[in-house]
Amino acid sequence: MNHDNYPDGYIREILTSVKSIAMAGASPVNVRPSYFVFKYLLERGYDIIPVNPGQAGKQLLGKTFVASLADIGRPFDMLDIFRNSAAAAAVVDDALALPVKPKVIWMQLGVRNDAAAARAEAAGLKVVMNRCPKIEYGRLSSEIQWVGVNSRTLSSRRAPIPTGTQKLSLHRASIGGGTTAAADRAAKNKNGIS
């Protein structure tokens, strides 16, 4: 895998297939990036598990912090790493030591560890580095265009302003989401759905 440039289909497949995400380095401080990502993904229907040894036993938006990946006690689909690049190696090794490995290792913006990625890929896991699932979700679902950012999703109409629970082009309900018909058609065509 070329970790400098991920195809949209690769990212889309990950975001539509995973259901549970362990977030290593989750923070209860509501101005930290991990808090924003945690809240955003939780609101999009993902089962998020906050992992932070300093917060073990405490709550984050109704979810209980665990001290380590081993303390989760159940399989999860994706590991989202909010640690620096050097620390990411140990977190990846912890994930690889689990009885049931996650399907995906995702390293946040600014986090890249090629040696850890190679170990994960050798074990059959998908890897994403230096990307944010919140940003990628918003971009691929066209949610991000509401604030005037180019989402690379073409449509002659602006996406509706989010109201209530709406279906996004990544096929997840959202508390504040919206859809664009063009994005939904593109996703269906790309996946071979008529």
Domain end residue (candidates: 85, 113, 132): 132
| Residue 137 domain flag | no
Do residues 71 and 56 make contact, with C-beta atoms less than 8 angstroms apart?
A: yes
Domain end residue (candidates: 132, 159, 176): 132
Let me know whether 20 and 111 are in one domain.
Answer: yes
Separation of alpha carbons 166 and 116, rounded Å: 38
CB atoms within 10 A of CB 151: 18
| Residue 2 domain flag | no
| Residue 98 domain flag | yes
Let me know whether 116 and 174 are in one domain.
Answer: no
- Quote the domain boundaries for residue 79: 8-132
Q: What CATH number should be reported for the domain holding residue 35?
A: 3.40.50.720
Let me know whether 72 and 40 are in one domain.
Answer: yes
Query: How does DSSP classify residue 66?
Result: B
SS3 for 188?
helix
| Residue 1 domain flag | no
SS3 for 144?
helix
- The pTM (predicted TM-score) of the whole model is 0.76
pLDDT value, residue 187: 56
Do residues 17 and 31 make contact, with C-beta atoms less than 8 angstroms apart?
A: no
pLDDT value, residue 126: 98
| Residue 3 domain flag | no
Domain end residue (candidates: 90, 109, 132): 132
pLDDT value, residue 177: 44
Let me know whether 45 and 79 are in one domain.
Answer: yes
Our count of domains for the chain comes to 2
pLDDT value, residue 176: 45
**pLDDT by residue for the chain (194 residues), tens digit each?**
899 999 999 999 999 999 999 999 999 999 999 999 999 999 999 999 999 999 999 999 999 999 999 999 999 999 999 999 999 999 999 999 999 999 999 999 999 999 999 999 999 999 999 999 999 998 888 776 555 555 455 555 665 555 555 555 565 555 444 445 555 565 566 556 55
Let me know whether 110 and 72 are in one domain.
Answer: yes
Q: Please say whether the dihedral angle defined by the alpha carbons of residues 62, 67, 68 and 70, taken in this order, is positive or negative.
A: negative
Do residues 140 and 168 make contact, with C-beta atoms less than 8 angstroms apart?
A: no
